[in-house]
């Protein structure tokens, strides 16, 4: 009998840039469930507010539905891309575009005292910090995966400068890992600084936390986290104490520290959110039955939508939604750790941890556990740019799942 061994031929042409294999169905199913629930709750939370201010009860729902359609189409498209083929391009282009648009936003007219948006012809606008979050993940993942062996080693720094430094102190004080850690730290600081310059406190915090998470996943040694953490906290305290923070940002911190501060002003939104959460009880008032959405909770389509969710669905309903988010994050981590590519693993885990941090921060704001920083709840809060970019990120995770070593249903 003629026995022959066959080897897998390398793909040529344009096919080499596309991912092979099937997507992870559990991740996709959980994601769709969250999207559907988010749309239902957006309509329920906003129809009174939309009717009063836009003369159309379905105003926010219809616009969000359009962005969902665009986002899902983009998600499916990017899920077919083999991102490792483009990792350097994504890092350079993402960083360059993010810094450019963040700079442009600083030149745009202020919106409620902030410079968060870039305005486009036709009345369109987008928030470049949403792009920056994903670009930072792609950039750090590319660096940390490429130089992983250097980061975990303890080799002395090479070159004339290293010898001069070592001779000066009579011992090697620098090693190769610092060549990578210092640029990564500088990149994080530049991203955070540009976002902070636009008076976007929540975006600044999120950028900083994303950077810390990626460095941790990239196996950077623990002492650098202690140094970075102390430096970050000291920086925020310094900004607050010196009055560098914009007036409204300082006011929000003051309102968080002093619960009796301006109950009809700076404390109004968060107080009403707390009333909504408290009145929901264990089982909630029922879908559509919120009373605080009747112009008490201001802008319920955005940061405080979680309070309406709890009021209508109760602790049980809110807990189930949080469980869905937790399952989505867990499945994303499973996809990452089971992928043979370190770069893809870092991107997948970076994306889902970013999602998790944003969910946690939103809930902490709604429950008055941290200052009101204006951070949205993914897949629930209204917003075109953020929604589409988040779905694009999910598309990258689905694309990574195609090459992950997962047990699949046949």
- The answer for residues whose C-beta is within 8 angstroms of residue 398's C-beta and 6 or more apart is 23, 24, 27, 28, 75, 79
In the numeric block, the tokens 């953490």 are attached to 229
Tens-digit pLDDT profile for residues 279-318: 999 999 999 899 999 988 888 888 899 999 999 999 999 9
d(CA 102, CA 7): 48
The pLDDT tens digits of the residues spanning 47-61 come to: 999 999 888 999 999
Rounded Cα distance between 378 and 387, Å, is 7
| Percent of residues in the chain assigned helix, strand, coil, to nearest 5 | 65, 0, 30
Domain ranges, ordered by start, for the chain: 31-78+260-404, 91-245
Local mean pLDDT, 10-residue blocks, the chain (410 residues): 45 63 92 97 93 91 94 95 90 93 86 76 79 94 86 57 48 57 87 82 85 87 65 64 59 73 79 90 91 88 91 95 97 94 95 95 88 86 89 96 71
* pLDDT confidence of residue 172: 46
* DSSP notation for 225-249: HHHHHHHHHHHHHHHHHHT-S-HHH
Cβ(147)–Cβ(180) under 8 Å? yes
Phi–psi pair at 92, nearest 5 degrees? -70, -50
Max intra-chain CA distance, the chain:
88
- Rounded Cα distance between 400 and 403, Å, is 6
In this structure, the chain runs to a length of 410
- Per-residue burial over 259-291, b = 16 or more CB atoms within 10 Å of its CB, e = otherwise: eeeeeeebbebbbbbbbbbebbeeebbeeeebe
Burial (CB count <10 Å: 0-12, 13-18, 19+), residue 97: middle
What is residue 125's DSSP assignment? E
* Among the listed residues 220, 228, 201, the one whose alpha carbon sits nearest the alpha carbon of residue 374: 201
> Of 69, 127, 120, 77, nearest to 98 (Cα)?
127
| pTM of the predicted structure, to 2 decimals | 0.85
């Amino acid at each position: 009998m003629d026995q022959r061994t066959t080897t897998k031929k390398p793909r040529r042409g344009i096919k080499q840039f596309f991912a092979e294999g099937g997507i992870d169905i559990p991740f996709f199913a959980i994601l769709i469930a969250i999207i559907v629930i988010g749309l239902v709750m957006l309509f329920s939370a906003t129809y009174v507010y939309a009717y009063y201010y836009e003369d159309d009860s379905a105003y926010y729902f219809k616009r969000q539905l359009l962005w969902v359609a665009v986002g899902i189409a983009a998600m499916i498209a990017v899920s077919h891309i083999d991102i490792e083929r483009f990792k350097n391009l994504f890092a350079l282009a993402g960083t360059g575009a993010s810094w450019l648009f963040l700079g442009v936003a600083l030149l745009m007219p202020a919106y409620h005292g902030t410079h968060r948006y870039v305005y486009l012809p036709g009345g369109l606008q987008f928030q470049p910090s949403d792009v920056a979050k994903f670009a930072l993940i792609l950039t750090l993942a590319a660096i940390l995966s490429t130089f992983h062996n250097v980061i975990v080693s303890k080799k002395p720094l090479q070159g004339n400068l290293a010898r001069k430094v070592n001779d000066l102190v009579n011992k090697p004080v620098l090693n190769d890992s610092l060549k990578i850690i210092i640029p990564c730290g500088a990149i994080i600081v530049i991203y955070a600084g540009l976002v902070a310059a636009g008076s976007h406190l929540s975006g600044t915090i999120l950028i900083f936390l994303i950077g810390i998470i990626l460095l941790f996943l990239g196996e950077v040694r623990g002492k650098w986290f202690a140094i970075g953490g102390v430096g970050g906290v000291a920086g925020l305290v310094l900004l607050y104490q010196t009055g560098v923070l914009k007036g409204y940002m300082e006011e929000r911190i003051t309102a968080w520290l002093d619960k009796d501060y301006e109950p009809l002003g700076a404390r109004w939104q968060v107080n009403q959110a707390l009333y909504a959460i408290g009145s929901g009880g264990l089982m909630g008032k029922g879908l559509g039955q919120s009373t605080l959405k009747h112009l008490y909770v201001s802008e319920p389509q955005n940061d405080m939508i979680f309070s309406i969710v709890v009021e209508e669905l109760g602790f049980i309903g809110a807990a189930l939604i949080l469980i869905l988010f937790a399952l989505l994050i867990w499945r994303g981590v499973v996809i990452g750790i089971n992928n043979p590519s370190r770069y893809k693993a870092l991107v997948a885990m970076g994306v889902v941890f970013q999602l998790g941090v944003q969910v946690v921060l939103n809930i902490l704001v709604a429950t008055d556990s941290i200052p009101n920083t204006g951070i949205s709840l993914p897949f629930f809060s209204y917003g075109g740019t953020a929604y589409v970019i988040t779905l694009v990120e999910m598309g990258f995770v689905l694309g990574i799942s195609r090459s992950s070593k997962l047990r699949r249903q046949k």
